[in-house]
Copies of this chain bind each other. A is one copy, B any other.
Amino acid sequence: MKQYSRIDPWRIIQDGFDSQDVEAFESLCSLGNGKMGHRANFEERYSGKSLPGNYFAGVFYPDKTRVGWWKNGYPKYFGKMINAVNWVGIDVFVDSQPLDLATCKVTDFRRTLDMRDATLSRTFTAELPSGLRVRVEAQRFISVADTRLGAIRYAVAPIDAAATITFVPYLDGDVENKDSNYGERFWEEVEAECGERCSVLQMRTKPVAFHAESGIDVTHVCSGMTVSLEGGNARTKPVDRRPGYVAESFDVDASANETVTLTKLVANVTSLDGLPEELVGRVKDALNAARAAGFEALHERHRSVWSAKWETSDVVIDGSPAAQQGVRFCIFQLHQTYTGEDDRLNIGPKGFTGEKYGGGTYWDTEAFCFPFYLSTAPQTVARNLLVYRYRQLPKAIANAEMLGYKDGAALYPMVTINGEECHNEWEITFEEIHRNGAIAYAIWNYVRYTGDDQYLASHGLESLMALARFWAQRATYSTTKQQYVILGVTGPNEYENNVNNNWYTNYIAAWTLRYALDTIDMVKDRFPDDYARVVDATAFDESGEPVLWRRVAGNMLFPVIEGTNIFLQQEGYLDKEQLTVSDIPAGERPINQHWSWDRILRSPFIKQADVLQGMYFFLNDFPVEVVRDNFNYYEPRTVHESSLSASIHSVIAAHIGDIDRAYELFQRSARLDLDDYNNEVHEGLHITSMAGTWLALVEGFAGKRIIDGLLSFRPSIPPDWTGYAFKLSFREHLLEITVGRAEVSVKNVHAEPLSILLYGAKETISANETVTRAYSEPGRSR
């Protein structure tokens, strides 16, 4: 654990240079625009420890699956988002000496990531080994206004005497991926042009057997740069070409204290943007437009889009600058990772901040991230997350077929980029099937929030039917128990594998079956044409399937601890040694770094919310005392060794009125990366868990729910806050919710009135009006 950044409400700040911190700040200061992103690697060469990372959404390499012992059903290839072309690089030489902070004496170093406008700035003074000193100011951004573009301004001034500054801005596609098996390189050059202040480089991932077998094309990334210089006396120099690398080179004579500035505007497009042969043209178009606009105008457009994002999603916290920074950082990174403009894209656990987990989509999206985008971005953004899965439905059906299911049942991959499974651990890949439940849940969550029943008719019904078919086939009728059981699963608590009757899985399976049945009735009634189309397309057996689904859902086993309100995580859980987390010696945590896997599996310790995850999804279904009993039983057994754990527990703690515990858990989530709780921030950020922070605040402290179609709040406030405020959108209404220690107000920024529930009472807020009510201290009242 280490607090890297200075506390600041809007900025991540690195003061002073320490080579130990370089990788951490590369992660913390990552930039992204939903389409591409990168770690905050220095522009100039750096020979110290660094994790280079430039990533493009949807661009992946299908690496060969290698396991000790093959199991039928493993994907032969697993796609992974890989480190791609380095387009930020600018080698800098001062009188022919390389500027490399690892070999310089660095003073006055300050790096700032401004979250208001996603702009990264860096200033420092470097004394080169020769004694020459230069002052550097660098600034860059990845445009969220034109998602093809990135822009860098890099200014150097010799301090003591005149010097020749050499700039070598380049595009380097011949890069390595840290997470490769044998230092293999995954990229090869397709085309390169090195023109006068405009260079283009097209790379593609190396073709492997996967492409021939699957018919899926190799992915391309085409990058171009245009550079300009200000100040000094510039001369173009010849530059070496090598495969996968284009560069330009300039010598600039600068007087003492004269600033010479290189501006590098970059365009990147990928094969998601067009056919491979079109990409060079697209890049040149983008570069021409960028050059015409110039750095300042591009920056202004970028800033203005960011400003609009904060207008609808900011959270203000009074009384805790650390929490303020933490929450803003989470919201900021979520916006950088996903913008919802392209329904082929999704959210990887590390976004564009590192290569771990391979950039694939997990159930994190539906279970954790979805409510954030649903409430803070235009409705199409959340809808596109649903459409992403809908587009992949045929592959989910094919995946299920490969595993032995039939008749159009779908099993979504545990991890995916384009719909193909990217994971290869049998206990997860084949058995962590509850992901199918989260995908159904997100559809329901969307529809209840937006009221967009039309989506069910156009897309949702088909998805839900395929998911229901899966669950109906996956359940087994136990003749001994005379109930349906679900055998051999891994629940959200991945510290149990291949268990029987995981309550969470059984619950969401039965729920999905019922929701599919309800949706069939609704669509049949209100959208008969869509219903007929789907019945036809899916060969739906209208007489047989619903009967089975109803029987399975209605006769599912839900294990409980007898004589209590507690749902049993899975059968056999009570045979374990009955310990709580306080029994684990401090030196043995986290257990996943200290204990062998079988010991973890045998232990009663829980990685992340499991029964409680189900209660979180369906909080309206359970009386608060039932939730409390389950929380009080399971939370003390939970080691929270998933970044997704603390936030869900925080929501539930707030729900049952334990605000102190909720706040403690909230803090672990809000500053997980900023304070590097797990000593791994150098690998990248925990993007999907950042959404949990927002959930803990909005659904936890503020108690946001949907009850009978109405938005409902039941705000509480953590002890050391004086107040907090947040914004969210609900069916065209922008709401500003302000919670103080004495009163709570909700402003309806919309021309139509809105009825909501506040502490259970219905309040109708007129257009552009605010309702204020006394704070009712639910933390103590429950």
Contact = CB atoms under 8 A, between A and B. Distances in A.
Interface in A430-480: 430-431, 476-480
A416 to B, nearest CB: 15
Given A67-B67, A598-B430, A575 B488 contact: no
Given A574-B480, A575-B487, A602-B487, A72 B425 contact: no
B488 A595 contact: no
B498 A601 contact: yes
A73 to B, nearest CB: 3
A575 B480 contact: yes
Interface in A591-606: 592-602
A421 to B, nearest CB: 11
A403 B575 contact: no
A481 interface: yes
Contacts of A67: 67-68
Interface in A54-109: 65-69, 71-73, 78
B599 A404 contact: yes
A775 to B, nearest CB: 44
B575 A73 contact: no
Given A480-B574, A500-B572, A578-B479, A595 B72 contact: yes
Contacts of A488: 598, 601-602
A599 B488 CA distance: 9
Contact of A576 (B476, B497, B498): B476
A138 to B, nearest CB: 38
B479 A596 contact: no
A68 B575 contact: no
Interface in A298-332: none
A430 B599 CA distance: 9
A502 to B, nearest CB: 13
Contacts of A599: 403-404
Interface in A575-614: 575-578, 592-602
B480 A597 contact: no
A424 interface: yes
A429 to B, nearest CB: 8
A174 interface: no
A485 interface: yes
A221 B599 CA distance: 40
B576 A487 contact: yes
A425 B497 CA distance: 13
A552 to B, nearest CB: 14
Given A426-B597, A595-B404, A598-B430, A575 B500 contact: yes
Given A497-B498, A601-B498, A65 B68 contact: yes
Contacts of A403: 596, 598-599
Contacts of A256: none
Chain B CB within 10 Å, residue with most, of A65, A575, A595, A601: A575
Interface in A475-499: 476-481, 485, 487-488, 497-499
B571 A572 contact: yes
Interface in A173-196: 181-182
A154 B426 CA distance: 51
Nearest to A487: B602
Contacts of A69: 425, 428
A424 B571 CA distance: 27
Contact of A404 (B479, B481, B485, B596): B596
A584 to B, nearest CB: 12
A212 B613 CA distance: 47
A426 B427 CA distance: 10
Interface string A541-584: 00000000000000000000000000000011011111000000
Contacts of A476: 575-577, 602
Contacts of A404: 595-596, 599
Contacts of A293: none
A360 to B, nearest CB: 13
Contacts of A479: 574, 578
Nearest to A496: B498
Contacts of A595: 72, 404
A402 interface: yes
B602 A66 contact: no
Contacts of A485: 575
Contacts of A73: 596-598
Given A73-B598, A597-B71, A66 B181 contact: yes
Contacts of A500: 572, 575
A499 B427 CA distance: 13
Nearest to A598: B430
B66 A596 contact: no
18 contacts: A67-B67, A68-B78, A68-B425, A69-B425, A72-B592, A72-B594, A72-B597, A72-B600, A73-B597, A402-B596, A427-B427, A427-B498, A431-B598, A477-B577, A479-B574, A479-B578, A497-B498, A572-B572
Interface of A: 65-69, 71-73, 78, 181-182, 402-404, 423-428, 430-431, 476-481, 485, 487-488, 497-500, 571-572, 574-578, 592-602
Q: Which 7 A-B pairs have the closest CB atoms?
A: A73-B596, A430-B598, A71-B597, A478-B575, A403-B596, A480-B574, A498-B498
Given A426-B597, A476-B575, A480-B574, 19 more contacts: A67-B68, A68-B78, A68-B423, A182-B182, A403-B598, A404-B595, A404-B596, A427-B497, A430-B596, A430-B597, A431-B598, A476-B577, A478-B575, A487-B602, A498-B498, A498-B601, A500-B572, A571-B571, A571-B572
